[in-house]
Chain A
């Protein structure tokens, strides 16, 4: 039990885990226990099973035990190949997500379920891609833009379009390293090819391939995902919400939206407001429909509609254990297959909707994008009709929730920054105020804290400890994914949290009217962060790697996180990992990630499983980058300050 008490920051989680034990239900913690000690070979990345001669496992210790696989692949090759495949899988996940949204944009019509919500953003993108907009029907523009977007996945020639958005020095680095991404799917396929038996056997080459593929994610798939979602579903603006399992309602139909793709969740939100559905809700005796989001789909709908956040990745089983959920509606990514047996213990319907993610034991109601709203209503109807089956004696809704502000798209961030622009000096709509406070040192730097939950560490402890330490030291935090939801639950996304910030960040938060931790969205929305950083770099005339900016994944878990971390480092931003990736079997590859890669990109990985020392390293690195940046900017700016010799005379006069 003592181990279970340490699972998370939330005492309510312990109560639910106890409920699971009492009811004889297996959770991830039980499975972790059953797993016993993890395999050291897999943990260190030195196990290879890519051909029929294996599986091979080589010794992580040089000069001792098997040093090579059957084919002769060394630990360096095996580790780097495994890492590259993680990057490929992560990139594939984000990109396929984006592809669906591009398809939806392509099918958008004036009277259809999917429409263009943000015309301004569409037109800006059309202009960026040189699609004529003048005098054209917005839907014709949309379809042409969508087609170009879809071609980004598999165009035969050239490189991707979005990398043009990066600062010039950064593009030059990518060109020199030959890692400018070509087509998104092509990069993923190249990795799968190069990591095939008997192909690339050079750790540095594999890392470069990983970097290029990851860039096809960050400056390709994910960026398309964010951009096109904003166009179809609207660019988010700040709004209030609530977070944690306490958002579930005793007398309402609780629908848990879990997964990633807003094409589904947006329609569920619309269906839940449909008069027909509301009438049905009354008929079953419920007081309403309560949508609650989880994981990134939760982030998408909370950003755009303020839908409440039920919880993070690790709480998906716990949410069902409340016994108060009529349906768990899922699409793709980060969905525990264990939700099938757990929901079987309750009245809860576990509904899969995507042909890309069918789960044995779940009810599969395929979501049809051609008839999106109808399709969503069928799914919501299942949930509502299930209300009467709720077993009241099994219901336990923990009374815990926190207030949060979400909805900060980059556009919304810039709008907040406009509040502090003096109209007699500067134009509105730029990142200058942010660049100014970073340059002046009022903010020491900025950190993007992102990523998952991981059973290897106490849930959310690392997220929250690091966030608190950074904001107390005048480092502004932007956050996405499950890290953002952890922040929401801990109250860090509220303006009350300003009191936890250092004086500099406090001053900024008060002037700009923002919380010290800013929710930028889902995991594809990490591209908002790299764009914001790039905008500040361009404003200051430097590269991303010159800025005191870091990325942190304190509790990362998925291959998507590996791809994200890699594109962030490739974009020139240091990445701090709170969970050690399976690479330690190759000291050479560890050296590449945590040292040599800096010579290539100006940024590197830092790995430390202790969140407190990791936070110290972040602050240290931020100051290190500041010193260099200040020296560089001081050369360019006169500052109008009298030279020291003149000062001496003035002092004499004073005395």
Chain B
């Protein structure tokens, strides 16, 4: 299967899932049932950014399905493939919105699901100043918990903000990774579609900090590519759906680094089988340079001075 066809298949899987779930939800709750994420002024942020339209009811989501369909044009070219990736993002947002529509608290600890505007605003400043040098999205399943812990703790030690999706959450817990917003490790959810809550963060950054008009999708993508230093680590066997979601990440400007053999695309879709090198590979792919702190002190300060002997004369 060629890469683009894999993406299209994945996009159709997502579309069918969204459509099926929506039908079921309408059957249960009726078309006028409300749809909203908690604590956001941007409705369904991805759909809002892409179309300028706010989704209020399940009936509105039927319209959003049309948007997804229009984004899936199965031609063997990069542009439609990236669009199909975005279609998957929209499908995922529809699925996640329905979860919130059907259930008051679809996510429970340790998963956080949707992230509030207030949190994004709080993250804005450290992102701009480079205090948070990058955003890692770790998705899937590592070979073992120890590996997962090592990768995540590496990002944590470098000050990156890490989002977890899938079984890697349990692996992180097992590896004793401390989580929470202050600790910059945020488990989103177990379903692949919950990755949309980090896409939503990037898109709202464009709406809030970038001041990009809702509906101007191209500008939003340009903003995320330029301003949001995110990347994706997709571990374990990749479903077509995950590959398709990866195309969505690439459309936003976020490289995807995986431990699986895939058809690589330089700087955008890379295979790194050596988990010890995953962080370095990812940071280089997203061009993230870790800010080194210089402490203003009158003597030299570096690891090189460790173990230095201080003699009596000094």
Chain A interfacial positions (CB closer than 8 Å to B)? 417, 420-425, 433, 436-437, 439-442, 444, 473-474, 502-504, 507, 511, 623, 626, 630, 634, 637-642, 646-647, 650-651, 653-655
Distance in angstroms between the alpha carbons of A653 and B1 in the assembled complex? 24
Name which of A437, A442, A641, A655 has the most chain B CB atoms within 10 A of its CB: A641
Asked if A424 and B238 sit within 8 Å, CB to CB, the answer is: no
Distance in angstroms between the alpha carbons of A511 and B271 in the assembled complex? 18
Asked if A422 and B239 sit within 8 Å, CB to CB, the answer is: no
Cβ-based interface call for B20 (8 A): yes
Asked if A642 and B239 sit within 8 Å, CB to CB, the answer is: yes
Distance in angstroms between the alpha carbons of A441 and B24 in the assembled complex? 38
Cβ-based interface call for B125 (8 A): no
Distance in angstroms between the alpha carbons of A424 and B284 in the assembled complex? 8
Asked if B238 and A504 sit within 8 Å, CB to CB, the answer is: no
Cβ-based interface call for B216 (8 A): no
Asked if B266 and A640 sit within 8 Å, CB to CB, the answer is: no
Cβ-based interface call for B95 (8 A): yes
Asked if B4 and A441 sit within 8 Å, CB to CB, the answer is: yes
Asked if B193 and A654 sit within 8 Å, CB to CB, the answer is: yes
- Contact of A650 with B265 at beta-carbon distance under 8 Å, contacts A502-B77, A639-B6 already known: no
Q: Which of A420, A473, A637 contacts B267 (CB under 8 A)?
A: A420
Cβ-based interface call for B78 (8 A): yes
Contacting residues, chain B, for A437 (C-beta < 8 A)? 265-266
Contacting residues, chain B, for A421 (C-beta < 8 A)? 266
Segment at the interface with A among B30-38, B39-47, B255-263, B292-300: B255-263
Asked if B78 and A640 sit within 8 Å, CB to CB, the answer is: no
Distance in angstroms between the alpha carbons of A511 and B193 in the assembled complex? 30
Contacting residues, chain A, for B238 (C-beta < 8 A)? 640-642
Asked if A436 and B82 sit within 8 Å, CB to CB, the answer is: no
Asked if A647 and B239 sit within 8 Å, CB to CB, the answer is: yes
- Contact of A654 with B17 at beta-carbon distance under 8 Å, contacts A503-B77, A504-B79 already known: yes
Cβ-based interface call for B143 (8 A): no
Contacting residues, chain A, for B264 (C-beta < 8 A)? 436, 440
Cβ-based interface call for B2 (8 A): yes
- Contact of A640 with B262 at beta-carbon distance under 8 Å, contacts A424-B272, A441-B4, A623-B76 already known: yes
- Contact of A474 with B267 at beta-carbon distance under 8 Å, contacts A424-B272, A503-B82, A637-B261 already known: no
Q: Give the shortest distance, in Å, between B184 (CB) and chain A (any CB).
A: 23
Cβ-based interface call for B16 (8 A): yes
Q: Give the shortest distance, in Å, between B288 (CB) and chain A (any CB).
A: 13
Distance in angstroms between the alpha carbons of A417 and B267 in the assembled complex? 11
Asked if B77 and A474 sit within 8 Å, CB to CB, the answer is: yes
For B1-28 the 0/1 string (1 means CB < 8 A from A) is: 1111010000001001100110010000
Name which of B21, B79, B82, B258 has the most chain A CB atoms within 10 A of its CB: B79
Q: Give the shortest distance, in Å, between A40 (CB) and chain B (any CB).
A: 43
Distance in angstroms between the alpha carbons of A504 and B6 in the assembled complex? 17
Name which of B21, B77, B284 has the most chain A CB atoms within 10 A of its CB: B77
Name 11 interchain pairs, CB-CB below 8 A, sorted by A: A424-B284, A441-B2, A442-B265, A503-B82, A639-B1, A639-B6, A640-B260, A642-B240, A650-B239, A651-B13, A654-B17
Asked if B260 and A650 sit within 8 Å, CB to CB, the answer is: no
Distance in angstroms between the alpha carbons of A441 and B74 in the assembled complex? 13
Asked if B1 and A433 sit within 8 Å, CB to CB, the answer is: no
Cβ-based interface call for B269 (8 A): yes
Contacting residues, chain B, for A655 (C-beta < 8 A)? 17, 20-21, 24
Q: Give the shortest distance, in Å, between B193 (CB) and chain A (any CB).
A: 7
Distance in angstroms between the alpha carbons of A634 and B142 in the assembled complex? 25
Cβ-based interface call for B281 (8 A): yes
Distance in angstroms between the alpha carbons of A442 and B267 in the assembled complex? 13
Q: Which of A507, A637, A651 contacts B78 (CB under 8 A)?
A: A507
Q: Which of B16, B268, B271 contacts A425 (CB under 8 A)?
A: B271
Asked if A444 and B76 sit within 8 Å, CB to CB, the answer is: yes
- Contact of A650 with B241 at beta-carbon distance under 8 Å, contacts A444-B76, A503-B82, A507-B78 already known: yes
Contacting residues, chain A, for B191 (C-beta < 8 A)? 653-654
Asked if B239 and A504 sit within 8 Å, CB to CB, the answer is: no
